[in-house]
Amino acid sequence: MRAAFEASRDALRSLDVEGFLAGYEDGPDLLVVDPTGEYVGRRAFERFARAWFREARQAAPTYGLVTARERVHPLDESTAVAVVHWSSPAASGSFRSLLLYRKGGGGWRIAAEHSAAVPPETGVDASPDSTSPGTAGPPGPPSSGGSSGR
């Protein structure tokens, strides 16, 4: 499961939309909740992700995503969650994501995600060595003001 998480994270860091989408389940039950909205089903999420990656590449070719903390919690043999604290110099703010992974015929894939921005007034330090509570979902591209959880 850790390898699936790392592949998705690395695809996000390099703005590789195909690699990023490969980490999500392909079907109508996929659910992603993000500061920009709720995306139910792979088609809806894929439209959103492709548009977001286009905007991110135009706004900041070197995105500079930092994962301050990553925690992976296996729940059973076919289900796990990951809690991730994110930030990026290209986005304003920090973010936190909860990713629900399921193991199926294609391996581990994200079945549900919730990402949220951490308000700046919380004084959260998203640096990798931070011990304070952190961030949520991948930060939005700079032109979005960091309001997107993607």
Classify burial at 33, counting beta carbons within 10 Å of its beta carbon; exposed 0-12, middle 13-18, buried 19 or more. Answer: middle
How far separated are the first and last CA of the chain, in Å rounded?
21
Domains by residue range for the chain, with CATH: 2-144 (3.10.450.50)
What confidence category does residue 20 fall into, taking pLDDT thresholds of 50, 70 and 90? very high
What percent of the chain is predicted at pLDDT more than 70?
Answer: 72
Prediction pTM value? 0.77
More confident residue, 37 or 88: 37
Q: Evaluate if residue 134 carries a pLDDT over 60.
A: no
Confidence of residue 87 (pLDDT cuts 50, 70, 90): confident
Concatenate the DSSP letters of all residues of 52-118 into one string.
HHHHHHHH-SS---EEEEEEEEEEETTEEEEEEEEE-TTSSSEEEEEEEEEEETTEEEEEEEEEEEE
